[in-house]
Each structure stands twice: as structure tokens, then as C-alpha cells.
Amino acid sequence: MSEATVRRRSLRPSLAIQVLAALLLGLLLGLAARSLEWDWLTTTLATLGSSYVSALQVTVVPLIFTAIVVSIANLRDLGRGPGAVARLGGKTLLWFAATSLIAVLIGLATGLLSRPGEGVAIQPDPETVESLAERQPGSWLDFLTGLVPNNLFAAFADGAVLQVVVISVVTGIAAYALKDKAAPFIAFNRSALEIVQKVLWWLVLLAPLGVLGLIGRAVATYGVGETLAPLLRLGVSVYVACFVVLLAVYPLLLRLVAGVSPLLFFRKAWPVLQFAFVSRSSGATLPLSTRTAVNLGVDSRYASFAVPLGVTTKMDGCAAIYPAIATIFIAQFYGVTLTPTDYLLIVLVAVVGSSATAGVTGWFTMLTLTLSTVGLPLEGVALVFAIDPILDMIRTATNVAGQIVVPVLVARSEGLLDRETLLSRDSSLLDPTAPPLAEETAPAGAHDGGSSSGQSPVPAGEGRSPATG
């Protein structure tokens, strides 16, 4: 790379600065559109935001399928038998469930202490009620019957993420069992994964435009004071609970279970958490999350399996904290007293039903599933819908943090954590968007398990990205 190119890139503001500027500009434009009744500006902002979200959604299904298939097949390169691989997957799912249990208990405690629904007097927007009524509410029957698709191609065409996950896992296991016979199929999926992630990276660079539209549209539609004031305790409760999990539970687990410094974790994960916060999409953050896990020393072959699996089943923000607090809010709003049995059911739904969060409306499915389980009116969802974009930011950041933390915990217990990579202060390992990959810099045999890292499906890119300044 020429010196002139390096100089030009050094003068370019980082992606985080661009996103922050877009957020502030979107806030100002939204306020202007609302106060001056500029419908054309509101429409423009809404179109910009919805187009960006749609572009991100297009990549989710192919990204999840190819990532899971390739990562399961790559587990063979770990040099362990099927029994050891099954234990690795089981331990990952067990940690997913354990951390979800902790998160939902924190959500319940926060909701009971803050009592967010008491004294709230609001009327849901009629258009919101009508729009939500058209959605399919979550139910245990739909969840169980929806695991297996009736038509293979319809699952992909309809964006049924949970069904795609099931198809991906079965396909990956079959490819794992077929060994060399499936090599051409795996090579095709690996190439497809790299293409999808390259497209996704281009969308990452457009994040400031998406944030501008999403924030601007939310402010122009719902306002600031008139909408946020009645729901302030709810919003603060969700943020406080998420911060407790982010800044207390995860660091404690990292220190006590994996022996990893929380400061080191956040130094390497901070760019990913920033992008997750503004993009509100765990799927769009997947390549950066996987790279961050690798940069934290997790074997790339295991990281490329655990992180995509977590994107579809590990949602502490959307599946545990938020449904718990929102359910308490709705119950208090309607004057319903929840019993100890109801609280146990909320916990059960969060731990067992977290896979229902797979997809772009996962929070809606999970909340309606929780409400129907404890017998609360589903119309209560409309009460909290107005501030959902604001809450979704911290929910997504919490989701992504958990999707990175668990692989670190499991890798440490399985001898798949490279301490040299973990402790490295190389600038390329402090930013998930900057090459080279961690496994390219780690010496062979550096892992605790004695094996060198395999090829990660996360693309390295062509040079230092704008996100690094």
C-alpha cells in the first residue's frame, strides 16, 4: 500500500465517528420533520432506513446456512472424534442456556425493583395495533412444528431462519460424516460464504446512512419527549439490566471461568459491540463477531461454529432480559398480579424458547410467546412498540457480547484458547475489521490443545479498513 493511500485513509474518520455523526444528524432531521410537519422528509428517512435493513436481511439466510455448514464440517480438522465434537457442541449449548438463565433472572429482578408499568397512562397507536395484529404471535405449537420445513426451498425463500438453522445443522453433520466425498460441496459453500461476507462488509461501510434513516424516522414518527416520557422507566430498566449483564456477569465469567481479563475482552470486542448497537442486527455483525472471537484466542474452527450457532439461539437481550421486563410492564399496566408460577414460566420460556428469536422479528415472537404462556393480552406489545428501536440497540449489543463470551469460556475448558493470540497487543488483533486474521499470526501448535488454527471463514479484506481510522 502506497504512502499516499495510507495518508488518505488516516485522514478519513473512523466508522464509529461516522455512525455517531449520522446518529446526531438523524436526530436533528427527525425533530425537524416532526416539528415542521415535513412528510416528505419523514418518508425519505423511513425509506432510507427500511432499505438498509432490507439489504441486511437479504444476507442473513445465506450467511447462516453457509457459515453453519462450513463450520460443522471444519470441526473435523480439530483432530477429535465424533464423541469429542458432540461434547463440544453440548457444552456450548449448556453455556448458552446457563447464561440465558442468569440474564432472565436479572431481567426479572430489575423489573420487580423498578416497577416500570405502574402509573403509566398511554394509548397505543392505532396503526401500530393494526400492524402488529397482522403478525403471527409466538406459540409453543408453532415453535415446535416450525422446526421442520414442509418445503426445503420455501424455508429459504420465506426467510424462515429457524428452519434454515435446522437444515444447516443437518446438512453440516451429513457433510462431516461423508468426509472427502463432501469436499466439493464444502468448497462451494466456503466460497459462497466469502462472497456473502464481502457483500455484507460493503453494507457495514454504509451503516452511517442506515443509522441516519432509522434514527431520523423513529424521532419523526414517535417524537422524543411525548413518547419516551411515559415509557422512561421501561427503557431505563432494560438498559440497566443489559448493562448489568454486559459489565458485570460477562466479565465475572470471563475472569473466573476462562481467566481472561475483562478489560482485554472489551478492548478487542468494543468495535463489534458498537456496530451491533447501531445496526441492531446480530446476523449482520456475525463476521465481525467471529473475527473477534478468533482474535481473543479461540480456535478459528470452533469459533466459526459457535458464533453462528449463537446468532440464532443465544439472545440474552432479546430472549431473556427484554421479555422478562416487558412482561412485568404489561402486567402492571393492565393491573394483573403475576404469581410465582408465572415468574417460573417466564424463566422457562427464556431458557428453552430462545431459539424462537431466530429471525428479524425474534423479539416480537419471544415477547408474544412469553405473554401467551402467562396469560397476558398480546395487545400489550403495542404499548412498548414505540421505543423498540431504542431498546433494540442495547439488546443487540448484549446478544452479540454473549455470542462471543461463551466460545471463549468453552474454548478455555477444551484447550482451544491460544493464550499468545489472546494476550497479543498487535493492533490488527484489537480491531475485528483489520487483517491479518489471528490464525495467520499465531505459530503452529500455539494452541493449548497443540494444534494449529485452521482457515477461518471470516474474510481478511484488502487492507486496513476505514473503521480503524
Burial (CB < 10 A; 0-12, 13-18, 19+), residue 261, is middle
DSSP 223-257: -SHHHHTTTHHHHHHHHHHHHHIIIIIHHHHIIII
DSSP 445: T
Q: What percent of the chain has pLDDT over 70?
A: 75
Angle CA(125)–CA(127)–CA(130) in degrees, nearest 5?
110
More confident call, 121 vs 343: 343
pLDDT at 447: 38
Triad 58, 63, 68: Cα angle to 5°: 150
98 near 312, Cβ under 8 Å? Answer: no
Contact status, residue 255 vs residue 261, Cβ threshold 8 Å: yes
pLDDT at 111 over 80: yes
Confidence check: pLDDT of 298 > 90? yes
More confident residue, 25 or 427: 25
How do residues 55-85 score in pLDDT, each as one tens digit? 877 887 888 888 888 888 877 776 666 777 7
The DSSP 8-state label assigned to residue 339 in this structure reads P
Angle subtended at Cα 369 by Cα 368 and Cα 372, rounded to the nearest 5 degrees = 80
H or E stretch covering 99:
helix 82-114
Choose from 78-87, 193-202, 230-239, 241-250 the range with maximum mean pLDDT: 241-250
Give CA–CA dist 23/21, Å, rounded. 5
pLDDT at 425 (0 to 100): 76
| CA-wise closest residue to 313 among 32, 51, 93, 464 | 93
Burial of 281 (0-12, 13-18, 19+ CB in 10 A): buried
pLDDT at 2 over 60: no
> What are phi and psi for residue 28, nearest 5 degrees?
-65, -45
pLDDT number for residue 122: 63
C-alpha distances in angstroms, 75 versus 84, 185, 346?
A: 10, 16, 35
- Is the pLDDT reported for residue 40 higher than 80? yes
pLDDT tier at 329, thresholds 50, 70, 90: very high
Q: Is the dihedral of CA 109, 112, 117, 119 positive or negative?
A: negative
Tell me the C-alpha to C-alpha distance, in Å, between residue 374 and each of 339, 343, 414, 432.
9, 8, 39, 41
Q: Which residue's entry shows cell 438523524? A: 26
Q: Confidence class of residue 433 from pLDDT cuts 50, 70 and 90?
A: low
Amino acid 84: pLDDT: 76
Average pLDDT over residues 315-343: 90
pLDDT classification of 37: cutoffs 50, 70, 90: confident
**Residue the block writes with cell 461454529:** 305
| pLDDT tens readout for residues 252-263 | 999 999 999 999
Task: Determine which of 101-105, 279-283, 295-299, 339-343 has the lowest per-residue pLDDT on average.
Answer: 279-283
Give the whole-angstrom CA distance, residue 285 versus residue 363.
Answer: 17
- Give me the chain's average pLDDT, please: 78
Contacts 24+ apart (CB under 8 A), 153-162: 156/61, 156/65, 159/57, 159/60, 159/61, 159/359, 159/360, 160/359, 161/60, 161/61, 161/64, 161/312, 161/358, 161/359, 161/360, 162/312, 162/355, 162/356, 162/358, 162/359
pLDDT of residue 277: 85
pLDDT at 401 over 80: yes
**Cell 431462519 found at:** 161
Q: What average pLDDT does range 156-169 have in this prediction?
A: 78
pLDDT band for position 439 (cuts 50, 70, 90)? very low
Are residues 201 and 288 in contact, defined by beta-carbon separation less than 8 angstroms?
no
pLDDT in tens, 186-208: 999 989 988 987 888 788 788 78
The amino acid occupying position 248 is A
pTM listed for this prediction: 0.74
